[in-house]
Structure 1
């Protein structure tokens, strides 16, 4: 997979605080890439350097194989802080102001409003918008220039459950159009439900970088109960997609190393004359893996 962003030994210090410490990672093209870490871990500082807002002390990075310049900036859409719009102006008029600042014309305004599902409220004043609608308008403004990459810093911060669900659905929709999305977040649930890849950082240091599946360690665990656990274990150990099988109490714990549905496992057992009286799939806990990384760093 092509890399859209390469970061090499990026560092930034604010007085006695080492905000980012020799950070190196790569972002695959077409991914939804989450930068995950506790508050104060250096996520926003990292994005600031990548977007040219903050100058790094050392290290470098490249977008599309090139340094950050006018050409590469044109391919980026970003929201780093709470966006400011004119409260007494409509969404359309606010986006016209943004388009004028970016010198890109008004041709995409209707399209981006439709993308963020604000087309029916396009003429409403910004001050009448909910927090979730304001965030969607901000994303619309970032999409005005048809960017290849969308960068979002804590996109669901402060939103209610409905607003969070709307932003998550919107991010997935944007990614489905071929746009690479980079998200900084401290929310595990957000990374797990939206992202394909993730980097975990703490105190500015990289603790992990890879796919979300790699971060959780495996694809999940299936609990199985049957009349003959030893025979069931023997049959499952030979099944493609099964990493390990162990007996725990009156159950088998089947660890999966790739995606295989519980129904496929059940079908395999039935074909061998084994009928499970208990079969439950448990997805591996991202929270557990994250806490392990943080506590061991």
Structure 2
């Protein structure tokens, strides 16, 4: 089972990520169209949408990886600033690491860049159950282990917010269940998770709030219980997006 991160206090229910009129245009194509997103502390926010809907582009703008065409991003109650990113850990677009290094050495590289002590590496490795893999190069890891390594990198420094893109990929049922427990422990300490996933069942099992992006526009935002009061997230999602109920996943 994944270990819980260290205790940290935050004021539950305060906005930690806000976007206002956030838009991104690539040439003549609008990928994100005036998205007003609000993520509050102490909650798990599930971001859903069909393939190409604009989810990844929105996350990249929040993280400063893409400049917005219009609109603004606010982090922790103030306008976007690079130093605010120190409070955010992220894993998007799949695991990114040095394949010829062990999990520990990969984390040491990131810890050095962040000015973190070696003890923080030990904590992150233990949190994702990668302790004792020092002799194994990351390129030889299974898909699930690579996902755990990406999660460990995101968790370095015990950030206030985690932004995770498809964190369940490659995990077996036991690993997925353990990930759920870790995420809930994380938010129980006042921290926040933004979770983008194509597994509707997993989002239904863990998310407090959801946002649904369709063709670049935010079509729904609010409590999971309000969106799917009968607990059937799949039916509510496909009703909103016009997708097929025969499809049980949402592409990224």
TM class, shorter-length? 0.7 to 0.9
Q: Which of 215, 218, 224 is the equivalent residue of 1:203?
A: 215
Corresponding position of 2:47 = 35
Q: Which of 150, 173, 186 is the equivalent residue of 1:174?
A: 186
Would the aligned equivalents of 2:31 and 2:53 in 1 still touch at CA under 8 Å? yes
Alpha-carbon distance change, 121 to 169 in structure 1, aligned in 2, over 3 angstroms: farther
Please give the secondary structure, in 2, of the residue aligned with 1:81. Answer: coil
1:189 corresponds to 2:189: no
1:131 corresponds to 2:78: no
Tell me, in whole angstroms, the C-alpha distance in 1 between the residues paired with 2:136 and 2:162.
25
1:151 corresponds to 2:163: yes
Corresponding position of 2:240 = 293
Contiguous gaps of at least 5 residues in structure 1: 221-283
Q: Which of 149, 153, 156 is the equivalent residue of 1:141?
A: 153
Please give the secondary structure, in 2, of the residue aligned with 1:74. Answer: helix
Alpha-carbon distance change, 154 to 51 in structure 1, aligned in 2, over 3 angstroms: same
Tell me, in whole angstroms, the C-alpha distance in 2 between the residues paired with 1:54 and 1:163.
32
Corresponding position of 1:215 = 227
Higher strand share: 1
Structure having greater relative contact order (Cα 8 Å, sep ≥ 6): 2
Tell me, in whole angstroms, the C-alpha distance in 2 between the residues paired with 1:10 and 1:171.
27
Tell me, in whole angstroms, the C-alpha distance in 2 between the residues paired with 1:178 and 1:110.
23
Tell me, in whole angstroms, the C-alpha distance in 1 between the residues paired with 2:44 and 2:118.
28
For 1:8-87, what aligned pairs fall within 5 Å after superposition?
8-87=20-99
Please give the secondary structure, in 1, of the residue aligned with 2:78. Answer: coil
For 1:258-297, what aligned pairs fall within 5 Å after superposition?
284-295=231-242
For 1:225-236, what aligned pairs fall within 5 Å after superposition?
none
Which shows bigger deviation, 96-105 or 142-151?
A: 96-105
User: Can you list the C-alpha shifts for 1:2-58, whole angstroms capped at 9, x where unaligned?
Assistant: 111111111111123211011002111111111111111100000000000001111
Q: How far is 1:160 from its partner?
A: 4.8
Q: How far is 1:166 from its partner?
A: 4.1
Tell me, in whole angstroms, the C-alpha distance in 1 between the residues paired with 2:132 and 2:70.
47
Q: How far is 1:87 from its partner?
A: 2.5
TM-score, normalising length: structure 2: 0.84
Alpha-carbon distance change, 123 to 170 in structure 1, aligned in 2, over 3 angstroms: farther
Bigger radius of gyration among the two:
1
TM-score, normalising length: structure 1: 0.72
1:88 corresponds to 2:104: no
Would the aligned equivalents of 2:44 and 2:208 in 1 still touch at CA under 8 Å? yes
Q: How far is 1:214 from its partner?
A: 0.8
Q: How far is 1:167 from its partner?
A: 3.4
Would the aligned equivalents of 2:94 and 2:165 in 1 still touch at CA under 8 Å? no
